[in-house]
Amino acid sequence: MTAAAASDAVGRDGRAMAEAARAAARAVRVGPAGVRVRHNLGTETPSAEAVAAPGRAQVVADFRAVRAPEKPESVGAGDAVLPLRVEVLLRLTQQNLSAAEREAIADKVRAAVTDYVGSVPMGAMLVYNKLLGRIVQPDEIADAALLLRARDAPADGASYRTNLDSGGRKVTVALADIAVELMEQAVKISIRVRLQPHLAAAASRAAQPEAAAPPQVTDALRTSIRTAIEGVLAAASGTIRRDDVRSAVVTALGGPTADLILTERDGLVLNATYEETGRLLNNADSVALAEHEVALLADLAVDMASTLDA
């Protein structure tokens, strides 16, 4: 075979291979006859949910209704620097952490705040959600609430939960101006009060010509006891003592010589459930409260004891 003939054969083979490749590509694009090709590409037809979504006017109105402005807040004017005070409340993913472990988490939050505020250029806007995102980024933090204030604002000055317009100034924050605390956690208090008639008072009534009806536990008495107990819980600082609760109940009953008195045995039972840890206390002499824990009266039972119990 001559060189020219060989070259012509190679050319024909190349053209044949190229045509075969193009035919295969068309077959892939078209697919076999009668076969529907499914895809997940978007269409121009909006979903029912999208049609029902509110428009911008409604969204803006909803934000304004809860005082969440869609525009950044302008914080005063003046010097080239705008020092801030930052307040953070945390909810942690793990409970029963030591004081040192909690302080280490707080240090992470302070570092995140100073890093972000320091990165905001002169005159640029401080983006609230970017700062909040850095705060909740560590795995140890389950949730956080964030407030921003001008450092030199009065005690009753405005606090912000939105973007801040620095007014051309450089926002700054010092470590001493970053407060990091834990969110309030409820300690649910359950109290059972058992009453009996005062024997001396009962004997005195029996000696009267027209004996009065024996004393009963009324709704008004229950309300008076509840109010007295709630006063003790509200005033408690660090510890709730059963003796303090008992004294308040005795006063609500009318004193130690009232017609109804607490039974000697289990006259007042104090129980507690710590919402944060799930810890339970039954018939406790006292209930300890951490700084971020708040006592709430979840259940109160006031009943007359049976004759045998009394």
pLDDT tens digits, 92-132 = 998 778 889 999 999 999 999 999 999 999 999 999 999 99
User: Within the chain, how many helices (H) and strands (E) appear?
Assistant: 8, 13
Looking at every residue in the chain, the average pLDDT score rounds to: 83
pLDDT tens digits, 170-211 = 999 999 999 999 998 899 999 999 999 987 655 555 556 565
- The identity of residue 109, as a single letter, is V
Q: Which two tokens stand for residue 142?
A: 């389950």
Q: Which two tokens stand for residue 139?
A: 């795995």
Q: Is the pLDDT of residue 235 over 80?
A: yes
Residues contacting residue 185 through CB under 8 Å, at least 6 positions apart = 274, 275, 276, 290, 292, 293, 294
Q: How confident is the model at residue 14 (pLDDT cuts 50, 70, 90)?
A: low
DSSP string, 243-294: HHHHHHHHHHHTSTTSSEEE-TTTSEEEEEEETTT--EE-S-SEEE--TTEE
Residue range 67-76: average pLDDT? 71
Contact 70, 60 (CB under 8 A): yes
Contact 177, 139 (CB under 8 A): no
Q: Is the pLDDT of residue 57 over 50?
A: yes
Q: Where is average pLDDT lowest: 61-65, 222-226, 237-241?
A: 61-65
The domain locations on the chain are: 71-182, 185-304
Residue range 217-232: average pLDDT? 95
Residue % of the chain over a pLDDT of 70? 75
Closest CA to 196 of 221, 217, 224, 227: 217
